[in-house]
Amino acid sequence: MGSSLPMQKIISLLFLLMGSSSLSLCSLVKPPPLVLSYHNGTILTGNISLSIVWYGHFTSSQKSIVLDFFQSLNTHQTTPKPSVSSWWKTLEKYQAQLPKNTQQPLQIDNPTLHLNILKQTLEPSYPLGKVLTRAQISKLAHSDDMAVVYDVAAVFTSDDVAVEGFCTSGCAHHGSVGHGTGARVYLWVGNPISQCPGQCAWPFYRPVYGPQDPPLVAPNGDVGMDGMVIGLGSALAGSVTNPFGSGFYQGPELAPLEAASACTGAYGSGAYPGYPGELLVDPTTGGSYNAHGVNGRKYLLPALWDPLTSACSTLV
């Protein structure tokens, strides 16, 4: 017994040294860089036509928040900086990363992205009910394929409509139907205010998990709709840079990190999990934002992965 005690101390000391050595080695290991690789498919370029479906009940003021956002994408010279159009132009950088021999079926010889709304459809009577599958979202998006030729269909669902995967697997999504020249892109965004504002309207609502700091003031005075704009920005960026699952992304094809989702939760400089970063604050309303839009609008938009710097880029 008398000789075993020193041996125990020696073993303990060895484990301590091994532990501290492992800790030092781990601290020196840096995570792999975030790189959204190009997977040889089509991305959207030039003039992009849009069809909109409003499913459920939206007030005129709610719709104007989204419509002003779309209009703000194209106004490069007339809004103060930082602007929604500056955010939009980040996506133009992806075109420069395409190999010279890439065949782009939807490519137009115009590096400037321009979005044009061709049609709006109102569905206030819930024709498919208030519980929708993803397949039904796709059906809503493309119910009039033969009537209007467009590049992207956007479906917005009101706060009383439950959508498959909403809150549990995402606040918005995008996808495509068809093949070849008949392929169509769509995106969906739901109003989270009645179902999961802590997940899909943060930082304008206290998060479900993490630091319970006071929520920020929504820049347009509508927590649900301002949360929808964040989801819309993410889905739209993914639709442009990875419309058919073969564009720019990192990770598995069925669960990719894309232009905006690679930078989730970052809106301003210095952002980290649970902290959106340094933002601008409207002195009159107290609303937090990072982008100016048309008609005096202000928006909070997600950071985008910049292919030129291989880093998440924020407007402020």
pLDDT tens digits for range 158-184:
999 999 999 999 999 999 988 776 789
pLDDT of res. 21: 38
**Distance between CA atoms of 74 and 70, rounded to whole angstroms?**
8
CA distance 166 to 186: 16
Contact 265, 273 (CB under 8 A): yes
How many angstroms separate the CA atoms of 140 and 155, rounded? 7
Amino acid at 37: S
What's residue 128's pLDDT? 97
Distance of CA 160 to the CA centre of its chain: 22
The CA distance from 172 to 189, in Å, is 5
pTM given for the model: 0.87
pLDDT computed for residue 212 by the predictor: 87
Q: Dihedral of CA 177/180/182/187: which sign?
A: positive
Q: How many CB atoms lie within 10 A of CB 153?
A: 29
pLDDT tens digits for range 212-245 = 889 999 999 999 999 999 999 999 999 999 999 9
* Low pLDDT (below 50) residues in the chain: 1-27, 105-108
Torsion of the alpha carbons at 316, 233, 182 and 175, rounded to the nearest 10? 120
